[in-house]
Each structure stands twice: as C-alpha cells, then as structure tokens.
Chains A and B, each alone.
Chain A
C-alpha cells in the first residue's frame, strides 16, 4: 500500500471553534444535520470544596473528526450493496447510485463518519475534498482552521498511531485510520470512566 493520506490533528491547539465544520458544510453544501466533519468536546474531572476554596481537576479538550479514509474500512465491509469502496488513491468513497441508505455503515464506523442525507436518501461522508486534492489544493477544513491545528499529511501504513487512540477514539487497529492526533495535555487522564463526550447533541444530530 505504502504512503496514504491522513489528517494530522493537533488536539492541544484545537479551540473547538468549529470553523472546520462550517468550511466543510460550505464546501459541500451540506444541510443542517449532516456533518461530514464534527467537533467533539470531551470533558471530565470535578470539584471539591476545601474551606472557602474550590479545588478543581476539571478538564476538557476537543476532537475534530471527519472520515479517516481507513486502510481497513469497516464501513465498506458491512455495506450490503458494495456501495463503499476504497480506491487506489486510498480514498474511501460512497457511491450514491448504489447506496440504499440502510445505515449499516453508520452503525459500524467507530468514528461516526457516514451521515445520512435526507435529500438523496443515501449515506454521505467526507470525500477528502477529492476534487481539490486532485487539483493540488488542500481540503477546505484544513485550510480553514484559525489555530492551524489541522493538516493533511501522508503516512506509511503501520506508522505509529498512538495519538489516534485518544479517548473516545477506538483502537486504531480496528480500521487503521488515516488519523494522527497530537494529544491535548489532559487526554491521558480521559477514559470511559473519567470523561465523556459533553456535546453529544452537537455531533450526533
């Protein structure tokens, strides 16, 4: 396989501003409810009163996520019609002609990438701004980020993907995602028992 595209996401610098999300919606004309790129807020910790003082170990960080164009795309595996295909360019695409909108891919994808679009009655998702890529231009989300926290990079298969396991991301061994995460300083403290996605209503409409 060799080199393939990946998003490099500097979580330590992400403010959760969702400019990437808006840029993606603008680029692809997406309606409310369809989020090819989503920004998760992870939060945890708590508060303790000691005398008059509040001691807090509260923490939060963000995760901006699209489709990771995985090397082993489980969405494609479960699709009963074969509508999802990983191309030679490493991009995982949904063929809207073949897709019947059964949503199996949405249930299977551990990243929440496939999104049902009522207008077409099919699944849709991030196409890595393929038309732009082909013309040598960066994806809309990447060039939009005011914090310069998103990059498009190329990685070798089997490259170290440690950050890509940052809570609440799944074990990258599952799908081999094209995702490199520079973890926020508080990410090591987060886990299923110590943190949660605090803005679920914003990312899973």
Chain B
C-alpha cells in the first residue's frame, strides 16, 4: 500500500473566484479556514483549509461538518429579509413588514424613552454568541449602548460560569493551560467530561489528543455518555452518574492519600490547606482537605466504596484510575465544561484542580493544572472590537437576566450584582443581538416566555438576527442581520489559536438585511452618537483597527489589511514550536513567582471562600455536594431520570438547527438506555414524551448502549416548537431545565434536571 501525495485541493472552476475566509464564526468552539468559491455574486462551494503542510506547530484548520454545510444556512429560504413589527399580542407570531426608517426610529425612540423614564440601568443587551466575528454580533450593540448613556452590564457566561469563577479560587488566574503542542509530552490523559470531538474546544484539539496517543499517552474518558471523544480518542470509557464527578475525584484523593501517592514535596512547597500543617493564616484548626477526604471531622471517609454508591463507578475502577493518574507522569486531567453547568458546579472544578496539584502535574511539560486553561501566553483575544466603557457600573450575572426583569430594582450581591449595592431599576428594554438566550437557550423556557409575554415588564424587546428564532418570536421589532459572509470580520483562534483569520465580505446580504455593525451605527445616528460610534470607519475600517490591535498585542508580523487581503491567505499564523507551559516559573520558584492568590500558593483550602460563610454550598475545600435535584432526592420518585444535553454537531447551540444537511446527518433524538426503555414499553425510534413539572417535549428516541442507565440525553439547542397546549415538539431540552443558579458563580445549572420519559 502506498500513500498518494496529491497537491493542494482548492481550485476554481470557470467564472469562480476563490477566497480564503475564516469560517462564519459562531460559538462553535473552533475557528477554521474555508475556501469559498464565489460565482455571480453567490457562494457556490466551501472547501476546507488547502495549505499543503499540516504540522503540529502549524496545523491545517480543517473545518467541521457545520462549516462545510454552512451554505445550507446561508441560502436558507427562511432568512429574514426585512424589518418586522409585531401586530397582535407579543409572541403570537403575527408580523407586518416595515421600512428600516420606521424600525430604527421606533427602536431609537424606545431606547430614549426607557432611558429617560427608568434610567440607563433599565436597558439591557443579553449574552449573545450567535454571530462572533468582532464586527458582527452583540459587542456592537454594547458599543452602541455605551456611547448613548450605558446599560445594565453583564458578567460571566453561559458556557463557563462556574469554571470561570472557581479556577482563580485555586490558582489566582484563568491562564492555567499549556499550549496544545505540549500535550504530545503527556503520558496519561483523563478526558473528564471533555468531548473535543464534538465541542471542538479549539480547532484541532481532538487531533492533538490523537497525536498524544500516537506518542504513547494512555487516555481515559469519564462521561455519562460514550461521546464521540470516548469512541475515537480514549482507550477506555468510564460511565459516571451525572453530577457526581466531584465524588469520584474525592475518592481518588482518598486513594492517593492512603496509598502514599500524593506528591508530598510539591504539596508542601506549592500549596496551602492540604493538611493541618499548612492552613492559611487565621484558619488553624479548620477542616483541611485531608480531613475532609479521610472523614476526620464528618466521620465519613471518602473511600472508593463511598463514591461507588454515589457515582455508580465500580470502586476498583476508581482506585485504579487514581493510581494510574498519580503514578503515570506527566499526566493531564482535562476538565470538560458540561459538568460545571450543574448545581454546585464550582466544586468539580476545584476538585479537579486539587487532583492536579496533589499529583504534582502543575507547571511541567506534559502536565496540566486543570481549570479553565486559557493560554499562558495570553491566548485568544475573544472580544477585540472596542465596546467602550459602560457608564453604568452595575452588572448582573448573564444567567440572571430574568430575575432582573422580574425584580431587578433592589437586587444586590445576593443575586450576584456587581458594581453597585443595588440595581436602580428592573430591565425594561432588551436589545437582543445574535442571541437566542432569552428563550431557546435559557433555562425553563415556559417560565421565560411567560415573563417576556408580560408587556408591563419588558416594555420593548428588539431582536436582531438572521432567522426568526424562538427568541425573535417574542420581539416587538425584528431586525434582519447579515451573516459573516455578507460583511467584514476578523477573529483569532478559539481559546488556543495562534492565528488571525480574516473574513472578507464575499456577497451582498439578501433582501434588506444589514450587518450588526451597520444597524448599530444607524441607531447611534438617531441618538446623536453616529460619529462617536463609527469614528468614520466602515466595517472594513474596523477590521483594520482590529488587525492593529492584534499586531500590537500578540501578532507583531501581522500584515496590513490591504496586504492580507491581497495575499488571499485568509489567515496569519504564529507557529508554536516551543509550547508554553502554565505555571513553569511558579513551579521553579514559588517564592519568587507567587500565584495571584491570597496566599501566593495553590489554594486547596480557600480562606476567601471560607469567609463567605456558606460552608454547605461554598465550602473552603472542594467537596461533593448532593445536587438539589438528583436521583437521591424525593423528586426522583416522580422524575427518576437525569436529563443531560450534549453539544451536537447538528448545531452550534441553536444555530444551524434549520440546516437540512446537518439535520440529515444528526437528527434530533432523545438518547435512552434500553434498560430504561424496556420497562416503559419504549422501542427504538418511538416518539417519547420527556417531562417534569417545568414542561414537556416530544421527540423520537434512539435506544443506545452509549448512554448510561438512568440518564436521558437530549442534545441542546433544538428550536422550541410548542403546540397549543405548550408541549414542545422540537426536542428542546430547555423546557425541562431549571433557572436555579450555582451558588458562587451565579452560573447556569441547566444540566441538573430530573425528568420522566414515556411513550408519546
């Protein structure tokens, strides 16, 4: 057998223009390169990265199935073409076409009215990642607000709330990750709830794990579901009951402590709070991590036997994984994000970081500190386009927007309000750009829409999007936005990327659709801030501005926009030949390079958390805490199954749900173990009703051994499609999820939901 060596793939057919372009960025977890074939003002094909070389230092950014199928979205017949105004009650779905002037006069007028009536804190731009190319997306709405008096701010995210807050409680920073080229130095990788094959987590992360395996790393995936990563990246899959990962981690610590596998030297010099000998000042005599694990105070040793009852993982397996992870050096425990979008999601983050510390895997090549794992060299820039400064200092956790609608006035620290003692107003106007987070993606849809339906609460809701999404259905005015292909944009790599991707405008928007930036500029004009908003730049001009910013901060060799465009390279790469290792300096010299924590050390015990005085929800050392809805609670009598919602390649959250090639590839199903199906008389392919006290959804099921018994898995993001009785027929898991937030991060806990399943 011989490999054939064929040349680069892209080539133009007669009449076609080839343009290399960043994939229409949405919050997919990747940033990839496409080669667009443009003919007669239309994109006719999308090829992938066609650079001839493909090395770990500078790998091809091969687009995923969603990027390659994007044209089915781009040219979908349901694209919004004109501004719409609601006629009839909110949410009734009756619309009248209006002109841009009428629409924008109305929007600007309402912004002015609400600002004058209730103050700037009554205006709100929700979290939104539906478009994500610096110039297209919610950040331009923030700029608009900030230049016209400000609005209620947001902090945190839906994706990473608990990990974002919990990681610094241990390490004092979010930059806890080594660059991916370093994974090739690892001998052992725990993919703990981590599924890069589907959520990407940076283009090529799955491929880097493959390379690490080829170099001899053993890989183990721990997940309630045998994810594609468990199938293709792991030597072993260990199913675990959702929401109990911290129990298994604690039992692993028990094995390490009782069998002498803790890296005692590292813990002594680099950590605080492991045992009584190293408690932070003022905390002597309190329960150390060792105390908790051994059960010195509570009388419950956290043995593998203890964890088996909670996690369903066999005790011998827990002990074996503990020994493997503690003795195979260097090793990585990579934490996925699904398990922190749960009740007490902070605990699993802290527990994983502590295991990394106990095994001495922090600050070394091939190791991994766990936690959020942004890059030590600065990493992805996320938002570069200047949203400006918000004159309103008060901000709320993104997940609590509905609370700020219901009872914003007077809301304070107990609801995670930052920057002010109390909010001055309820939310009265929402400008929702590139977001489906008010309905489809927020918890407890039936509650959300009841809140939105009440026109005395949110008095004006404008939604700006490419389709009439579930959120747009509740709008008073809908503004048609263009896709990334129809305007200029730029991005750097998602989380890991060492590249800048250019997104030149390729085609005109359909109908009267405009770019998010242009719409923002036209509203700003009406509010007297037109010049301040644009500073004389159009979209391309701001891309140039962003390139300057990238060049100034991380990419000194980045070409000018003219040269970048003329080269038709589509991307600029900073190859990684010597991957950075987080905490290398601290590892070498903890005195000279202390962490940015109160103690300067890795805080296994956090005095700051202890001082919050809520040990049952926010303990000073990471603990397993039984979730507020669980198989162990009384709710399990009526709702015995746990509902989880994985990220499917059918969609990027709710984006692409209407893409027919992707629906064909990954039809929306409720995945159920045959052992749960049989007693319910459910056969493979049956329509099932999944329900609890919050709502019900009906969809076809697929029986699979790949989901553990006791769990029903409904991929998140399907478009909510209620019938007259309010039962969803789109397969949207968020009719089942709860709006209750995690204690420390005020983050979503949407994966914590108990349900029942029956034949529909």
Contacts from A to B (Cβ < 8 Å): 3, 5-6, 8, 12-19, 21-23, 25-27, 32-33, 35, 39, 43-47, 49-56, 58-62, 132-133, 135-138, 140, 143-148, 151-156, 159, 180, 184-185, 198-199, 201-202, 205
Contacts and interface: CB of A to CB of B under 8 A. Distances in A.
A97 B666 CA distance: 33
* Pairs of residues from A and B, 5 with the lowest C-beta to C-beta distance, nearest first: A58-B705, A15-B197, A22-B68, A15-B232, A15-B228
B92 interface: no
Interface string B706-732: 101100000000000000000000000
B664 A26 contact: no
Contact of A62 (B1, B71, B231, B662): B231
Contact of A6 (B1, B705, B708): B1
Contacts of B65: 17-19, 21-22
Given A53-B312, A54-B709, 12 more contacts: A3-B2, A26-B68, A44-B705, A50-B314, A52-B308, A55-B314, A58-B226, A62-B232, A133-B6, A136-B6, A137-B11, A153-B4
B231 A205 contact: no
13 contacts: A23-B48, A27-B45, A33-B664, A43-B704, A43-B706, A45-B705, A47-B673, A52-B308, A53-B315, A59-B705, A153-B2, A198-B702, A201-B667
B529 interface: no
B6 A137 contact: yes
Contact of A153 (B3, B71, B649): B3
A16 B664 contact: no
Q: Which of B4, B313, B685 lies at the interface centre, i.e. has the most chain A CB atoms within 10 A of its CB?
A: B4
Contact of B706 (A22, A58, A184): A58
Interface in B631-684: 649, 660-662, 664-667, 673-675
B160 interface: no
A51 B207 contact: no
Nearest to A198: B704
B47 A32 contact: no
Contacts of A60: 226, 231, 705-706
Contact of B69 (A25, A35, A137): A25
Given A15-B233, A17-B228, A50-B314, A205 B62 contact: no
B702 A17 contact: no
A43 B231 CA distance: 10
A54 B239 contact: yes
A17 B64 contact: yes
A115 to B, nearest CB: 13
A153 B4 CA distance: 5
Given A54-B709, A147-B206, A151-B3, A18 B666 contact: yes
Contacts of A154: 1-2, 4
A202 B673 contact: no
Contacts of A133: 6
B226 to A, nearest CB: 6
Interface in B316-335: none
A46 B198 CA distance: 24
Contacts of B63: 19, 144, 146
Interface string B226-248: 10110111010101000000000
B483 interface: no
**Size band of the B side of the interface?**
35 or more
Interface string B23-47: 0000000000000000000000111
A131 B308 CA distance: 58
A17 B709 CA distance: 25
A136 B9 CA distance: 8
B526 interface: no
B629 interface: no
B62 A146 contact: yes
Contacts, number: 179
Q: Which of B48, B206, B233, B660 lies at the interface centre, i.e. has the most chain A CB atoms within 10 A of its CB?
A: B48
Contacts of A49: 709
B667 A146 contact: no
A184 B206 CA distance: 16
Contacts of B2: 3, 153-155
A146 B207 contact: yes
A26 B3 contact: no
Given A61-B231, A136-B6, A53 B1 contact: no
A23 B232 CA distance: 20
Q: Which of B54, B231, B235 lies at the interface centre, i.e. has the most chain A CB atoms within 10 A of its CB?
A: B231
Contact of B664 (A32, A58, A159): A32
Interface string B62-80: 1111001101000000000
B210 interface: yes
B314 A19 contact: no
B8 interface: yes
Contacts of B704: 43, 198
Given A26-B69, A146-B206, A202-B665, A13 B232 contact: yes
Nearest to B204: A146
B309 interface: yes
B685 A201 contact: yes
A25 B232 contact: no
Interface in B407-427: none
B228 to A, nearest CB: 4
A91 B9 CA distance: 20
A159 B1 CA distance: 8
B50 interface: yes
B15 interface: no
B7 interface: yes
Contacts of A148: 54, 207, 210
Nearest to A6: B1
Given A26-B45, A45-B705, A12 B664 contact: no
B722 to A, nearest CB: 25
A154 B68 CA distance: 27
Contacts of A22: 65, 68-69, 661-662, 665
B3 to A, nearest CB: 5
Contact of A52 (B6, B309, B673, B706): B309
A53 B308 contact: yes
Nearest to A27: B45
B675 A47 contact: yes
A205 B664 contact: yes
Contacts of B62: 19, 143-146
Given A43-B704, A136-B6, A138-B6, A53 B314 contact: yes
Q: Which of A16, A23, A54, A146 lies at the interface centre, i.e. has the most chain B CB atoms within 10 A of its CB?
A: A146
A96 B611 CA distance: 76
Contacts of B708: 47, 54, 56
A55 B313 CA distance: 8
Q: Which of B203, B313, B661 lies at the interface centre, i.e. has the most chain A CB atoms within 10 A of its CB?
A: B661
